[in-house]
Structure 1
Amino acid sequence: MKVKYFFIISLLIMVFAQFSFAQNISVSGKVTDANEGDPLTGVSVQVKGTTVGTITDLDGMFKLNVPSEKSVLVFSYVGYKPQEVVVGSQRTFNIGMELDVVTLEDIVIVGYGSEKKENLTGAVTAVNVTKTLPLKPVADVARALKGVVPGLTITNATGKLNDEAILKLRGYGSVNGPSNPLVLIDGVEGKLSDINPESIEKVTVLKDAASASIYGARAAFGVILITTKQGKAGKTVVNYS
């Protein structure tokens, strides 16, 4: 009798051991840029619907234990489109991730980062630099923005080309008090006359208190955010004028 029970218990242990082994599948692979073929470091590889996951190493390699062949691997990386792959019978994966290209006109730079136009609730105007500035052969940015942003008044008291333009975005606070909007060039306070119009990639004007409040009292009369052109991966582009 004891031998019979011992045999049954041993059989159950073997079955559960095999079942447990079958439910822990080891998968591995490499994640690269789909266009360039370069390995991507720090890509999140996670089993969908669970907390099981890992990240790729310096060579874009990863190794992970998944519960079953029905598991779905989710690959996500900043700036790239996420991918989902069913494990199935495959044990080695070569994943090529594509860049998540977002149209520049759909993104608006705000005080706390960037937002899509449809998500904005404040009074914000984004200037289409590629269509506006090249059409105006002017000496500085202030004159290029004249008549482009609703509510922004730009005047030149002396008429001299080298004089700083007077900007009025939300009117005068008092008879003698200053009311110029705050100008930030790549996050640093500056003047519109300090920058070459050809160096500008994006201009955003924050008009209302809700949009400009992150900058405090200096933003009482609005904020003009200027983002300059930066180096980008891809083909070399040469502009001349």
Structure 2
Amino acid sequence: MREQNFMTDPSSQTGMLCSLTQRVMIISPLPDRVRSLLVALSAECFDVFSLHEFNKGMLPALQPELLVYDALPLPLPSEGHTLEGGAELLADARDYHVPVLVLLDAPSFEEHKDEEFPGAELLKWPALPEEALSRIHSMLENRPAQAGSLEDIRVFKDIRVDLRKMKVERSGVRVELTKTEYDLLLYFIHSDGSVLTREMLLDDVWGSQFYGGSNVVDVHIKTLRKKLKDSAVSPRYIVTVRGAGYRLADDGLH
């Protein structure tokens, strides 16, 4: 995946200092066909990232305020860059409360213009950059108050935790956890890879009033691993540190 940052150098703008910016992510397999929009956004002090493909995890990593999705047909048949092929992108953006401006060619726009796409708007492309900018400004101004905030989301590798809904997903599939398992997973994610002793886990997850043995930690980690399809032998998420406790498998935290 190639990434380009098109943020304009403030010194190159006459009389303008980009002290505050908003981040826009553009997904396009052929950036040249949206270059006029890239230039226009940069000229208005937007922090613009252009990527060729969409991958899970990029929204919490880059935290854009708005996403532009180029769904125009490709010269050769290819999956992904159509309105239907972008279903996963639209669903992810909706989950993260990131509004999406979808660019469509004239036939696709006429076909879909009367349909509703929650969290997304359609724009016939090519269009004047000023028209696209107007739509982007309007979408940013009119989004719900909580939209664009990723404070309620935690991501570790392909595990996604929605704090507001207390919902856990692995590779997009819901994982049903007990309250203690949920708290345990969240504690690991917030630990940033530090080694956690059984005593620390007992005090902070079960509470100081818990008087059971420390083996309760091992039992719950075993069931948590099973639900996450993890393995103590070849751990992907939780590593056993002999003689000490446990830690996250690596630095895959966003």
Say whether the fold is shared (TM-score over 0.5). Answer: no
What's the TM-score once normalised by structure 1's chain length? 0.33
Greater fraction of residues in helix:
2
Higher Cα radius of gyration: 1
With normalisation by structure 2, the TM-score equals 0.32
- The structure richer in strand per residue is 1
